[in-house]
Structure 1
């Protein structure tokens, strides 16, 4: 009798699970529709309805994470997706989505691990490969990032975002002609891709193709007129082209929109120095260092400000601080030049700088 009772309970549990699964299938279908239409609160409610009865329902966990991610609730998304990949450790898509969530939280090593797991499960996965490239770029593994973008583009030749980000990586390595080709290919597939237009503008600034750079940045601004970043980059263009008044106006416009934007503060300091306004340059450098204490560029610019005021010892001290972060030959050259104006810098000190 006892065995018969246990068997009956097992049978009843199996029937209940089957019934719950059938109900869950109907609910997850509705939840998917809600997610596709951007109704994320409804998506969450429906997923939680399923999870109350079936806590390890992979589809509900995965969709719950996607909805939270779309709502920019990244911590909640991470928790749901981490549970999802424990329930189904063979889901490449869930690992890819978890990687994207770690990336959004600035957890780049964790993002790399999740994305590499996704790619191991599904080697032909353009989205995961492109996202891995983005992650490696943030980890300053630029060559590896390019390899990942190349794999993504090989699988999906019209992957505009991967092409654009490969261009940024190539720009970081000063591979200017290759970067230009990457941005132009991205724009071939997506002519209104703002990031690719900005990238095209930046690489043409470096190549001194100022008319082409201006055309690209103006096109980007026409699509996104209130972008502080694009205004600041147009300021960089005007500064490089020695249009100082226009550059100053662009940097001021960018800082009015985003007072702590790094590229705009750098540009403000550079244009102020070029126009002989040392006090304004110092203010921009000070603000920049408050926000970015390890900015070697800010230290170098502030060093130039002190040198303008005849404070050579302070200028050299700032150059040394910058060199501790970024060993740069041009900064050492500037230090050697400044040492000629430092009365207590004897021959040995000057030779040490030259040896450096």
Structure 2
């Protein structure tokens, strides 16, 4: 069926290997590769591990290791592994934690419906990671062996087709797809949406008829506000499992986000037909009816929501709002008061309650409610307007004049600010800067206007002006993490990494969970040539957000600088799983593939890069070198 050098791979050996291997073994093997290929469902994928094993045995014998006292092929490969092993930087606690984060299904407790605590799983994590890294030296050899000894590998397609029954291959593929689907579901629960999508895409290749995979995929797209993709996934899931109520609810939610409320109503009703005791189904049905101005039907749906869950605050708020629209002022006031009893800091409920009080001629109570709302949102110019009107009705003329003057000032500043942001989004930098400066002239306390003005200056490549605006913002709001991070980024972009690190450190003193600050400080350290500090900072960023693509990329770059190529390869791959279009990570993979002897795959990467970006000079240079070496 296949020959590797002088070794034969028989049909019986292949069947035994495939039948005896679990889905987890196949998934782990694919993940352990330094340069994993895309998922494949053909029969050759099951033959490849045996071919690789044969290539490693050839490599061992080439090194004269066959003369060693080895009782089996396994022990011969173990001798090869020991022979070629290199001195490694010891595994860090952060790397162990990273493995735990990236393999949640291995540590998922079904009974507790959650991950085992890391402290409980730590011993097993170390065993698994050490096994993965022990395999890394063999992984170094394989790309080159596959390319260099391709002529010694012969596969007989007809015999391969006959060796494995279609039903066996289908079963193994489905098992692998189901495992990947469960893993994707765990990532989804953790909020790791892009990682979930990467894993679920592989699951769908192996088991395309598994409705759960398409549901999870749709939910991940929906949370990323990719509603068209979510819609497609939910429709596919319903076609596969038309009895699952959550699918109709999810599809209705996607339609609602796409501003298609009439279709959303149908889907929410279908969900309720299948499972009527879910309050969120009824609430979102009410939202869809409300969008269609079917207020009576919306009121019924909100009522059903509250009947099922009396603590559903948003449904009570909507009920109260519609009661007020229908002229039931007492009912509306009581409803808003019940909302505030459950959630006292609900600013919108305070504002709407004040409106109702005004209609009931309860102006002093309206003033009190609006003053509470202003404490919660002190820059909301609409509240100043309502407060001024209520104070005037309550006979508080001087206070009313002051509130209305504040409304005029803040509304004018907000108008210029909003227009400035709109112009900045369209890259009309001069116009944006002028409008933001007007907003600041009207309201000198407008911190966000100064921050956005600074960003405009940075985009215009006038960093000195940007830094000045940011320093003013920090002066107004010393606890503003975004302003400190932007200052760090501005100094970093102008080649002043020491100043950048200072401001990132200040940002972290304010918020130690800021991924932006950890990444920025690490980037500044990398610029300053301090790779160890960069790696430490990037590990901190990834401990907070394991799916921060740029942290994975910069971590790979730091490992490349330190010539820790295994770690670099894994970090490039982690970056590409989250952001498949990251050209620089793809370039890094190509460089490493070339280093490990797989010139064909490296060439393919550089050719593909130049299709996407014909001006990528480093890819052009790599491709030219490969062509000269042919």
Matching residue within 237, 242, 253 for 2:410: 253
* Deviation per residue, 1:11-66 (Å, 9 max, x gap): 93333333233323322232222222222111111111111222232111111111
- Correspondence for 2:328: 175
Helix, strand or coil at the partner of 2:209: coil
Alignment of 1:290-329 (within 5 A): none
Q: Distance in 2 between matches of 1:120 and 1:234?
A: 46
Q: Would you say 1:238 and 2:379 are equivalent positions?
A: no
**Structure 2 counterpart of 1:37:** 190
Aligned partner of 1:70 in structure 2 is 223
Matched, 1:82 2:235: yes
Distance 1:68 1:252, change over 3 A: farther
Q: Which moved further from structure 2: 117-126 or 211-220?
A: 211-220
Q: Distance in 1 between matches of 2:415 and 2:252?
A: 29
Compare 114-123 and 231-240 and name the one that shifted more: 231-240
Question: Which one of the candidate residues 332, 352, 356 is aligned to 1:203?
Answer: 356
Q: Is the 8 A contact 1:159 1:186 kept in 2?
A: no
Alpha-carbon distance between aligned partners in 2 of 1:82 and 1:97, rounded to the nearest angstrom? 10
What is the TM-score when the length of structure 1 is the normalising length? Answer: 0.63
Partner of 1:94: 247
Contact 1:27–1:50 (8 Å) recurs in 2: yes
Classify the secondary structure of the residue corresponding to 2:266. helix
Residue 212 in structure 1 maps to residue 365 in structure 2:
yes
CA separation of 1:144/1:249 partners in 2, compared to 1, >3 Å: closer, same or farther?
same
Following superposition, the deviation at residue 84 of structure 1 comes to 1.7
Unaligned runs of 5+ in 1: 1-7, 262-356
Counterparts in 2 of 1:38-53, with a 5 A limit?
38-53=191-206
Q: Is the 8 A contact 2:332 2:356 kept in 1?
A: yes
Higher mean alpha-carbon deviation, 146-155 vs 29-38, is at 29-38
Q: Note if contact 2:221-2:229 (Cα within 8 Å) is conserved in structure 1.
A: yes
Q: 2:309: which partner in 1? A: 156
Instruction: Confirm or deny: 8 A CA contact 1:164 1:199 kept in the other structure.
Output: no
Q: CA deviation at 1:160?
A: 0.8
**Counterparts of 1:256 and 1:31, CA distance in 2:** 46
2:340 alignment partner, one of 182, 187, 201 = 187
Quote the Cα distance in structure 2 between the aligned partners of 1:214 and 1:173. 24
2:285 aligns with 132
> 1:147: Cα distance to partner?
0.8
User: How has the CA–CA distance of structure 1 residues 53 and 250 changed in structure 2, closer, same or farther, with 3 Å as cutoff?
Assistant: same
- Please give the TM-score of this superposition, normalised by the length of structure 2: 0.37
**Are 2:371 and 2:387, in contact at CA under 8 Å, matched by a contact in 1?**
no
Distance 2:176 2:410 in 1: 56
CA distance in 2, matches of 1:213, 1:59: 50
Q: Distance in 2 between matches of 1:254 and 1:95?
A: 42
The whole-number CA distance in structure 1 between the counterparts of 2:167 and 2:373 is 59
In 1, are the aligned partners of 2:234 and 2:247 still within 8 Å (CA)?
Answer: yes
CA–CA separation in structure 2 for the residues paired with 1:217 and 1:210:
10
Deviates most, 191-200 or 110-119: 191-200
Higher RCO, 1 or 2 (CA under 8 Å, sep at least 6)? 2
User: Deviation of residue 217 (structure 1)?
Assistant: 3.5
Distance 2:416 2:264 in 1: 30
Contact 1:164/1:186 (8 A) holds in 2: yes
Is 1:24 aligned to 2:177, yes or no? yes
Deviations 1:84-121 (A, max 9, x none): 22222212111112112211221110111111111111
Whose radius of gyration is greater, 1 or 2? 2
Give 3-state SS (helix, strand or coil) of 2:213's partner: helix
1:118-144 CA-partner distances (Å, limit 9, x unpaired)? 111112221010111111112111111
Q: What is the alpha-carbon distance in structure 2 between the residues aligned to residue 224 and residue 241 of structure 1?
A: 18
Check whether the contact 1:65–1:79 (CA below 8 A) recurs between aligned residues: yes
Matched, 1:111 2:264: yes
CA pair 220-125 structure 1, distance change in 2 beyond 3 A: same
RMSD: 2.6
Q: What is the Cα deviation at residue 258 of structure 1?
A: 5.6
Count of aligned positions: 250
Distance 1:107 1:56 in 2: 28
CA drift at 1:153: 0.8
Change (3 A) 1:44 1:215: farther
Change (3 A) 1:250 1:12: farther
* Runs of 5+ unmatched residues, structure 2: 1-160, 393-399, 419-630
Change (3 A) 1:150 1:214: same
Q: Taking structure 1 as reference, are residues 86 and 198 closer, same or farther at Cα in structure 2, changes over 3 Å only?
A: farther
